[in-house]
Amino acid sequence: MIDVSKLTQAQIRQLGIEALTKALGPIGMARFMQQFEMGSGDYTRDRDQILGDPTVEEIFAEIEQMRQEHQKKA
């Protein structure tokens, strides 16, 4: 058995993924991991409040503004 007290969180996570993959196969490991990636709330219901209802033109304008700001910083 490995002394996990001497491992970093990243090392423990990697060993866990390797163990799951060995036991369940890659697809089984991915399906298991999906159980812990679920968010909360009802995104379908809440997305308009989160994102609003922008037009394509508004989205492009925001992208262009972000590009210009990024170029000024560079």
pLDDT in tens, 14-68: 999 999 999 999 999 999 988 886 677 888 888 888 888 899 999 999 999 999 9
Task: Give every CB contact of residue 31 below 8 A, 6+ residues apart in sequence.
Answer: 24
Using a cut of 0.85, tell me whether the model's pTM lies above it. no
Question: So what's the pLDDT on residue 62?
Answer: 94
Q: How many CB atoms lie within 10 A of CB 71?
A: 8
Which spans in 1-74 are helix H? 9-34, 43-51, 56-73
Count how many Cα atoms sit within 13 Å of the Cα of residue 2 in the half-sphere of its side chain: 10
Q: What whole-number distance in Å separates Cα of residue 28 and Cα of residue 22? A: 10
Question: So what's the pLDDT on residue 42?
Answer: 85
Question: So what's the pLDDT on residue 74?
Answer: 78
